Amino acid sequence: MSGAANPVMPIDPCQEDPEKLAEFEANIANGVLIEPGDWMPEAYRVGMLRMSEHHANSEIVGALPEGEWITRAPSLRRKLALTAKVQDEVGHGQMLYRVSQDLGKSREDMLRDLCTGKTKYHNCFNYPAPTWADIAMIQWLIDGAAIMNQKTLADGAYGPYVRTMHRINMEEAFHFKSGEDMVLTLMSGTKKQKQMTQEAFDRWWGPSIMFFGPPDKPGCEDMPPMRWRMKIETNDSLRQRFVNRFAPAARDLGLVVHVCEKNEEGFVTQKQVDELCTPDEDGNWGFTTPNWDEFFKVIRGNGPCNAHRLALRRFSYEQGAWVRRAIASGDTTLPPAA
């Protein structure tokens, strides 16, 4: 359920062998997919590693807020679906860690770097999910955004990541459809259900708009991440497509797009109708620019749930250490009491 990170290119591609680099770029331009045994610029390897590791981390952490709701799902079918979804997300993490392993980082190091905050995961999972309607919104808006993004990533250039994206997207389709069904059910329910759904929508619309990352820098199409087809559509283009799809759908459901102010815990304290959220003559829907200060604050670890999500992940990692030891070496020493 995640968008991959905007890959940062930490190494100057100009340091590479110019002939090999030219051949690599020609292959990419011709639509050739890169396989693990091929020569690739170091910047490409490191960029792809960061992207797939960030994506894997996001799958793992993204399962945490939803996992908390399995025991409180409103029906057996919803409980089965949510259990399957959480299982899927963790499985996606497993597959993406494997792609990352081939790019040169051990799985154990990736799991540990996530626990210690050395590596990041997607911002949107640092917001609270206090009601069942939040679970519906995560699956409708966040998984909907993820599908838009991952459909484009499945047209990327790195073969193992592309193969994994195809498999993941098959399951994301179920996550999205399940969420859509939940939102439609809630919005055709009681007044109280509709109010709960509107409040959840207010909490998740902003993070959904920010899902695709910060505004594009000028010339981003010519920079390595897009030139090398690590990503193939700009953040702003994906964001506009998302708004064009979901703003009219929300309106038809009876939901109102608000511009919200939130407190430190991520709960809405003030809101007003987003007057910009109407279509222009080209059919593009307007939207109020997200609060990018909030975006960067959350990235730096100061969002409403950053500390809690990481603490829970680390708690699970430490509590699970004896299982890993038992499996790997037959040492069955019991863990300390929780």
> Least Å distance between CB 326 and other proteins?
9
* Binding to other proteins, residues 231-260 (CB under 8 A): 241, 245, 248-249, 252-254
Residue 144 in tokens: 């909907």
Nearest to 34 by CA among 177, 162, 123: 162
> Least Å distance between CB 314 and other proteins?
6
Among positions 18, 37, 218, 219, the unique one binding other proteins when judged by CB under 8 A: 37
Nearest to 279 by CA among 252, 308, 306, 303: 252
Q: Would you count residue 180 as binding other proteins (CB under 8 A)?
A: yes
Nearer to other proteins, 140 or 295 (CB): 140
Nearer to other proteins, 160 or 260 (CB): 160
Alpha-carbon distances, residue 188 vs 183, 201, 254 (angstroms): 9, 15, 10
CB-neighbour burial class of residue 40 (10 A; exposed 0-12, middle 13-18, buried 19+): buried
CB-neighbour burial class of residue 174 (10 A; exposed 0-12, middle 13-18, buried 19+): middle
**What character string, x for contact with other proteins (CB under 8 A) and - otherwise, covers 276-305?**
------------------------------
**Inter-residue contact 65 to 125 (CB < 8 Å):** yes
Q: Would you count residue 80 as binding other proteins (CB under 8 A)?
A: yes
Nearer to other proteins, 244 or 291 (CB): 244
Q: How many helices (H) and strands (E) does the chain have?
A: 13, 2
Nearer to other proteins, 44 or 295 (CB): 44
Q: Would you count residue 271 as binding other proteins (CB under 8 A)?
A: no
Q: Would you count residue 108 as binding other proteins (CB under 8 A)?
A: yes
